[in-house]
Amino acid sequence: MNSELATAVILDIEKIRKDFPLLQTKVYGKPLVYLDNAATTQKPFMVLQALDDYYARYNSNVHRGVHYLSQQATEAYEVARRKVAAYINALHEHEIIFTKGTTNSINLVASSFGRKFLKPGDEVLISAMEHHSNIVPWQMICEEKGAILKVIPINDQGELRMERFDELLTDKVKIVAVTYVSNSLGTVNPVQEIIQKAHAAGIPVLLDCAQAIQHIPVNIQELDADFLAFSGHKIYGPTGIGVLYGKERWLDEMPPYEGGGDMIKNVTFAKTTYNELPFKFEAGTPDIAGSIVLGVAIDYIQKTGLAAIRQTEEDVLNYAYNRLAAIPSLRFIGNARQRSGAISFLVGNIHPFDMGELLDKQSIAVRTGHHCTQPVMDFFKIPGTVRASFAFYNTRPEVDALVKGIEKARQMLD
Ligand code: PLP
């Protein structure tokens, strides 16, 4: 535990919960227990109000207008970029590209970096615990360029086999793309070590931070990753907005991903010259409202304090882990030493879908299935898991409700 965490306070959760209107909802007449935060988080009033405010007061297109509203929207859009840059401590604001989400950010890098830098026989190194969005875009570009996708395997605990990483990191590898935190196992990967080793071999690294950015302080200059991707909706912001951070030197060298308005400097039928960063990678009208409101979600996190958020989440996660461990015939899928956010498990012979449905009837929202990580399910030879995933607004009584719900399902089905 770092010193910042050691001094962080546990948040007053009852007070926090009042910030989130959806947490007051009842499902089937009972208070909702929302444990599907890895899929998407709920939104605080501040965020909802900012969305309303944008459309009610200054909705206008950005970057192209001289009129008052357009200038206001442009200013707010660029302020949001500054907030994201500050949140991850990026060196330059123009290293922040607004995208549709993590998936879109990774597709951008795979396509653009791949078109420029991959040749037949080159390798792209990912891990066995990646979300499909950090597998398929690389498969697609590898197929197009005749490159080869290599995979760092995992062990039975759901941790990366780092000795295999060392062996796989040959001079054929042109980029390493790994997740910081696994969405299906909850594993926190040793990304510092991965980045240091890759850089020592002159290889850039993309970090999928979809499950890290809302839980763990990410200081991109300290980490020194070359690319970083995350989604707004998993960090208390809206859907449809996401971020790609890229080091200036890579973004400068990479070709545009999409063509259209805003990403150009000059267009003739003979030749088009491209705009400077970040606009080179933001073709067309962006999600103006989404970007502005993502900035407000970041304000909310900073007002609450990420260290306190983390401390509060660790408390509920440890409590959940201990209580679930006491359930007979429950087995965890993924037992990594470093964990965050999500707990995956199976109970006896109960199919995860059946467990999910019975929990739903008790107004408990968990996710079941492969969680877009089918290779992880293949590794453990299971059809899927039940996943409870936590945010700082989850409480110990909610964990108790989950445990009670599982016990009830066990009596009925196992
Ligand atoms: N990567 C990880 C680790 C995820 O958990 C997810 C979503 O669950 C994604 C990528 C894709 O995020 P999105 O669907 O918001 O693009």
What DSSP string describes 113-174?
HHHHH--TT-EEEEETT--GGGTHHHHHHHHHHT-EEEEE-B-TTS-B-HHHHHHH--TTEE
Q: What are phi and psi of 332, to 5 degrees?
A: -80, 140
Which of 302, 333, 357 terminates a domain? The answer is 302
Q: How far is the CA of 131 from the centre of ligand 1 (A)?
A: 7
342 and 291 part of one domain: no
Q: Which residues make Cβ contacts (< 8 Å) with residue 335, sequence separation at least 6?
A: 156, 157, 158
Q: Is residue 102 lining ligand 1, measured as CB closer than 6 Å? A: yes
Which of 286, 302, 318 terminates a domain? The answer is 302
**Protein residue with least CA distance to atom 4, ligand 1:** 210
Q: How far is the CA of 133 from the centre of ligand 1 (A)?
A: 7
Q: How many residues does the chain have?
A: 414
Mutate to test the pocket of ligand 1, among 36, 103, 108 (most ligand atoms within 8 A of CB): 103
- The pLDDT tens digits of the residues spanning 47-68 come to 999 999 999 999 999 987 789 9
Q: How far is the CA of 382 from the centre of ligand 1 (A)?
A: 21
What pLDDT score was predicted for residue 357?
97
Please report, as a single letter, which amino acid is at residue 257.
Y
Q: How far is the CA of 305 from the centre of ligand 1 (A)?
A: 24
Q: Is residue 211 lining ligand 1, measured as CB closer than 6 Å? A: yes
- Largest distance between two CA atoms of the chain: 72
**From CA 399, how far away is CA 143, in angstroms rounded?**
45
Which of 284, 302, 320 terminates a domain? The answer is 302
Using alpha carbons, list the distances in angstroms from residue 321 to 120, 289, 392: 46, 38, 15
Tell me the chain's radius of gyration from C-alpha atoms. Answer: 22
Q: How far is the CA of 204 from the centre of ligand 1 (A)?
A: 21
In a 3-state reduction of DSSP, which class is residue 218?
Answer: coil
214 and 126 part of one domain: yes
Q: Is residue 183 lining ligand 1, measured as CB closer than 6 Å? A: yes
What pLDDT score was predicted for residue 257?
98
Catalytic annotation, pick one of 372, 382, 403, 413 = 372
**Protein residue with least CA distance to atom 6, ligand 1:** 210
Q: Which residue has the tokens 């980029």?
A: 175
284 and 370 part of one domain: no
Mutate to test the pocket of ligand 1, among 40, 41, 108, 131 (most ligand atoms within 8 A of CB): 131
What CATH number does the domain containing 58 carry?
3.40.640.10
215 and 117 part of one domain: yes
246 and 341 part of one domain: no
404 and 332 part of one domain: yes
3-state secondary structure 85-124: HHHCCCCCHHHEEEECCHHHHHHHHHHHHHHHHCCCCCEE
Q: How many domains does the chain have?
A: 2
Using alpha carbons, list the distances in angstroms from residue 327 to 93, 303, 332, 405: 49, 37, 11, 11
- Here the tokens at position 386 are 């039940």
Mutate to test the pocket of ligand 1, among 372, 385, 387 (most ligand atoms within 8 A of CB): 372
**From CA 98, how far away is CA 57, in angstroms rounded?**
22
113 and 210 part of one domain: yes
371 and 269 part of one domain: no
271 and 327 part of one domain: no
Residues of the chain with pLDDT under 50: 1-6
Mutate to test the pocket of ligand 1, among 132, 133, 216 (most ligand atoms within 8 A of CB): 133
- Here the tokens at position 160 are 């990366």
**Protein residue with least CA distance to atom 5, ligand 1:** 183
Q: How far is the CA of 406 from the centre of ligand 1 (A)?
A: 27
- The pLDDT tens digits of the residues spanning 230-278 come to 999 999 999 999 999 999 999 999 999 999 999 999 999 999 999 999 9
For 64, the domain range is 48-302
250 contacts 227 by C-beta, under 8 angstroms:
yes
331 and 274 part of one domain: no
| β partners of residue 126 | 151
292 and 180 part of one domain: yes
Q: Is residue 131 lining ligand 1, measured as CB closer than 6 Å? A: yes
Instruction: Specify the ligand 1 atom closest to the Cα of 234.
Output: 15
372 tagged catalytic: yes
242 and 341 part of one domain: no
Q: Is residue 103 lining ligand 1, measured as CB closer than 6 Å? A: yes
Q: Is residue 101 lining ligand 1, measured as CB closer than 6 Å? A: yes
